[in-house]
Chain A
Amino acid sequence: MTTIFRHTGQHGLWATALGASLLAGMAAQAQTVTVWSGYPELAPFYEHVAEGMKATHPDITVDVQAIPLREHERRVALGIGSGSAGNVVIELPGSTANRYIVNDLLNEAPADVIEFVSNPENFGPFFVDAASFGGTLYGVPLFRGQSALFYNTDMFEAAGLTGVPQTMAEFTEYAEKLTQRDANGNPTVTGWSLRLSGGGQGIAEKFWINMFQYDGGLMIEEVGPGQWRVNLNTEAGRAALSQYLDNVHTLRTVTVEAPADAEAFQRGQTAMFIRESWVIGDTAAKAPDLNYATAPLPYGAIGLPANLYVSAEDDGADAAWAFAMATNEPENLLWLLENVGWLPNRGNVDYSPVTDAVPQFGGFLDYPADYEFFTLPALAPIEELLTRIANRLVEAFANPALAGDAAAIEAFLQAAEDEANAILAREGLLAQ
């Protein structure tokens, strides 16, 4: 009995040791990579990439977690800050990622990633710079948020408009002609949907896009190395705010309470609005019968590159970088453009199979040679600056007393500018 037990015990020990070593070997190879995205519509894209990786990387399991942007920002701040995130691929704009990079919370890119990203055939210097910090590469460029005009071609035709607005003054003229009203004169279909309410920095970003059309007016400007200034009470700022107020309160081509943004456009509740290319994919899914086109803006557009960063260790980091690189496979980028609509940043890929089939991409890709771009600066308090400005703008948009009152507009913009510059001063970033 004892012998049998002893033999059984020995076998058991051997089996346990063998099992443990096998499990240890598997653990060393199998890796789970979590993908954190701030755009729920990108979840199918990342899942598509993961599916494609199965053949070449059967040991990598990808868990895609795409949630709305504001929650994503909080998740990154808490997860990466506390070091409890595990092996993560994080989608972030360079302006936000730098905050994590300076605190050594994101991995430097390995040699093969540097080689791929630094190849000028793959990415232009704008995208490489946006994924780098202090000359070191940290991210893999993926897509960009770029704005253009979306307009309802049926409504343009009905209003007798044959072209698109070429100046900001024409935007207002078009909006007047496009607005449909009820018997009391209240707009039932807005001529031009503007971002007038809600919360967050988006309101300030949209205002900046409009401001930029007035000869490249910059809301936040780098005056010298590390020295910044907020410009709101400028010719461009005053013109942009006056235009908002005229449209809302004087001409009533749009109202604060009117349905807005992509949803309103897809439902035929607005004739035109300025937005990024994701609206194309969204509209294909939600309003496939909508007749619309896109066009570049009068002066230029925002270009907000989103990159993939890695926070992981050892084998987990290798797996995470492998996923980030796989997103840039031509087949995946074409899938992204066709199914989601965000514009890929990689240059040497033939996107014509998609862009030829979907002419609405023309407004984003076929722009004049002198078309200008701006981006959000990689500035520590960028979110705070834009959120503060947005809060002020919301109050202004809802204030009919400001409309047509040049002195009041100037005073309002000066107060907003002073408040924003005080934040720069607090952080030691204000240009003297």
Chain B
Amino acid sequence: MLRRKRWIFAILALLPVLLVYGWVRIFPIGEILRLSLHKWDLLSRNKPFIGLDNFRELFQDTLFQTALVNTAIIAFGVLLVTIPMAMCLAALIYHRTHARFAWFYETSVFIPHVASLVPAAMAWKWIFDARLGPLNALLGVFGVEPKAWLFDPVLSVVAIIVLCSWQALGYAVIIYLVGFKNLPHSLYEAAKLDGATPFQAFRFVSVPLLKPITLYVSVVTLVSAFNVYAQVFVLASDAQGAPGRQVRVLVLDMLENAFRNYRIGYAASEAVVLLVIVLALTLIQFTLLREKGGRR
């Protein structure tokens, strides 16, 4: 009887939180799934069911394909830049400074993550400016021809990867530092006794032990990078005085379809595709990193 009462109490205590969670998390996902099967212009009361037509059209849509490819390149680019760099920076901060200047380095690295995105992106727009940007000026010192960073189809994607990585790095470093601080010191001492160099200790002790951290950071970085939008919008949007090539990404394409073209159902089908991709990638990451980590 007492056990039953405890169960009822637990359920009643959790119910408000579960209801709120269901309303703000589960219901919108269900609604997106439902809308993706309908044709709706946002304003009309009429929402005809069209089955999978939106998805059929989507996979023949050249803009969507471009957006998908660009987003994937940016997301994996950010992942490839951020994870190794964050791990190395965290290792340097943790091992080399012996916590004396750690707070300074941690803060310096973390500032870009908390800096407001729009002014930061505007600053990067200036850095990448083909004529007046300091990046081309610096390259010029080494005899490199000025590059049209924000206009060249390849370089404009590179510019976005740089901006996104710059922003993501601080968070990843902080999480890795937490990981480093929790690693047992005895393992490093044992490695040292076995004659391991600092690099070998990092490669064969730190990296494997940090796999759970790497899993978390890579999932967060990848999901966040797949949702890239504001960086693209600021670097090369309708800025009429300072032109730039707009790199089409999934969220931008979705917003354009939803609120400029008034095709909510179509945009919802894009959101479903994005959801499936992110879920699949997260599962792959969990499989690759967690299982191998578990076997060790």
Residues of A within 8 A of B (CB): 68-70, 73-74, 77-78, 80-81, 99-100, 103, 105, 195-200, 202, 256-264, 380-381, 383-384, 387-388, 391, 394, 398, 419
Contact partners of B183 in chain A: CB under 8 A: none
Q: State whether the Cβ of B294 lies closer than 8 Å to any Cβ in chain A.
A: no
* Structural contact, A99 and B262, CB atoms closer than 8 A: yes
Docked pose: A69 CA to B151 CA in angstroms: 23
* Structural contact, A197 and B236, CB atoms closer than 8 A: yes
* Structural contact, B236 and A261, CB atoms closer than 8 A: no
Contact partners of B186 in chain A: CB under 8 A: none
CB nearest neighbor in A for B260: A383
* Structural contact, B241 and A198, CB atoms closer than 8 A: no
Interface-centre pick from B41, B43, B263 (highest chain A CB count, 10 A)? B43
Q: CB < 8 Å: which of B43, B239, B256 contacts A387?
A: B256
| Interface class of chain A by DSSP | helix
| Interface class of chain B by DSSP | loop
* Structural contact, B240 and A78, CB atoms closer than 8 A: no
Contact partners of B43 in chain A: CB under 8 A: 77, 80-81, 99-100, 103, 105
Q: CB < 8 Å: which of A198, A259, A384 contacts B237?
A: A198
A-B contact list, 11 entries, CB within 8 Å: A68-B238, A99-B43, A197-B244, A198-B236, A198-B243, A199-B236, A200-B238, A202-B238, A259-B131, A260-B241, A387-B261
Instruction: Given A77-B262, A384-B261, output 15 extra A-B contacts at Cβ < 8 Å.
Output: A69-B238, A80-B43, A81-B43, A99-B41, A105-B43, A198-B239, A198-B243, A198-B246, A256-B151, A256-B245, A257-B151, A257-B243, A260-B240, A388-B63, A398-B151
* Structural contact, A394 and B245, CB atoms closer than 8 A: yes
Docked pose: A50 CA to B118 CA in angstroms: 32
Q: How far is the CB of B128 from chain A (nearest CB, A)?
A: 10
Contact partners of B131 in chain A: CB under 8 A: 257-259
Q: CB < 8 Å: which of A70, A199, A383 contacts B261?
A: A383
* Structural contact, A381 and B243, CB atoms closer than 8 A: no
* Structural contact, B245 and A259, CB atoms closer than 8 A: no
* Structural contact, B259 and A199, CB atoms closer than 8 A: no
* Structural contact, B130 and A198, CB atoms closer than 8 A: no
Docked pose: A197 CA to B131 CA in angstroms: 16
Residues of B within 8 A of A (CB): 41-45, 62-63, 130-131, 148, 150-151, 153, 236-246, 248, 255-256, 259-263
Docked pose: A198 CA to B240 CA in angstroms: 7
Docked pose: A354 CA to B184 CA in angstroms: 79
Q: How far is the CB of A283 from chain B (nearest CB, A)?
A: 13
* Structural contact, A199 and B238, CB atoms closer than 8 A: yes
Docked pose: A360 CA to B248 CA in angstroms: 38
Q: How far is the CB of B62 from chain A (nearest CB, A)?
A: 8
CB nearest neighbor in B for A384: B261
Contact partners of A196 in chain B: CB under 8 A: 243
Contact partners of B236 in chain A: CB under 8 A: 197-199
Contact partners of A384 in chain B: CB under 8 A: 260-261, 263
Docked pose: A247 CA to B41 CA in angstroms: 40
Contact partners of B260 in chain A: CB under 8 A: 70, 73-74, 383-384, 387
Contact partners of A388 in chain B: CB under 8 A: 63
Contact partners of A257 in chain B: CB under 8 A: 130-131, 148, 150-151, 243
Contact partners of B45 in chain A: CB under 8 A: 103
* Structural contact, B263 and A78, CB atoms closer than 8 A: no
* Structural contact, A261 and B240, CB atoms closer than 8 A: yes
Q: How far is the CB of B33 from chain A (nearest CB, A)?
A: 20
CB nearest neighbor in A for B42: A81
Docked pose: A264 CA to B243 CA in angstroms: 11
* Structural contact, A73 and B246, CB atoms closer than 8 A: no
CB nearest neighbor in A for B232: A199
Contact partners of A258 in chain B: CB under 8 A: 131, 243
* Structural contact, A77 and B256, CB atoms closer than 8 A: no
* Structural contact, B151 and A78, CB atoms closer than 8 A: no
Q: How far is the CB of B287 from chain A (nearest CB, A)?
A: 37
Q: CB < 8 Å: which of B130, B148, B241 contacts A264?
A: B241
Contact partners of B241 in chain A: CB under 8 A: 259-264
Q: How far is the CB of A25 from chain B (nearest CB, A)?
A: 36
* Structural contact, B63 and A391, CB atoms closer than 8 A: yes
* Structural contact, A73 and B259, CB atoms closer than 8 A: yes
Contact partners of B153 in chain A: CB under 8 A: 398
CB nearest neighbor in A for B43: A103
CB nearest neighbor in A for B247: A199
Contact partners of B261 in chain A: CB under 8 A: 381, 383-384, 387
* Structural contact, B244 and A198, CB atoms closer than 8 A: yes
CB nearest neighbor in B for A75: B259
Docked pose: A383 CA to B255 CA in angstroms: 13
CB nearest neighbor in A for B246: A199
| Given known A-B contacts A78-B259, A202-B238, A257-B130, A103 and B243 have beta carbons under 8 A apart | no
Contact partners of B255 in chain A: CB under 8 A: 74
Q: How far is the CB of A333 from chain B (nearest CB, A)?
A: 26
Q: How far is the CB of B38 from chain A (nearest CB, A)?
A: 15
Contact partners of A387 in chain B: CB under 8 A: 256, 260-261
Contact partners of A74 in chain B: CB under 8 A: 255, 259-260
* Structural contact, A263 and B42, CB atoms closer than 8 A: no
Docked pose: A99 CA to B262 CA in angstroms: 9
CB nearest neighbor in A for B129: A257
CB nearest neighbor in A for B242: A259
* Structural contact, B242 and A70, CB atoms closer than 8 A: no
Contact partners of B245 in chain A: CB under 8 A: 197, 256, 394, 398
Q: CB < 8 Å: which of A81, A195, A197 contacts B151?
A: A197
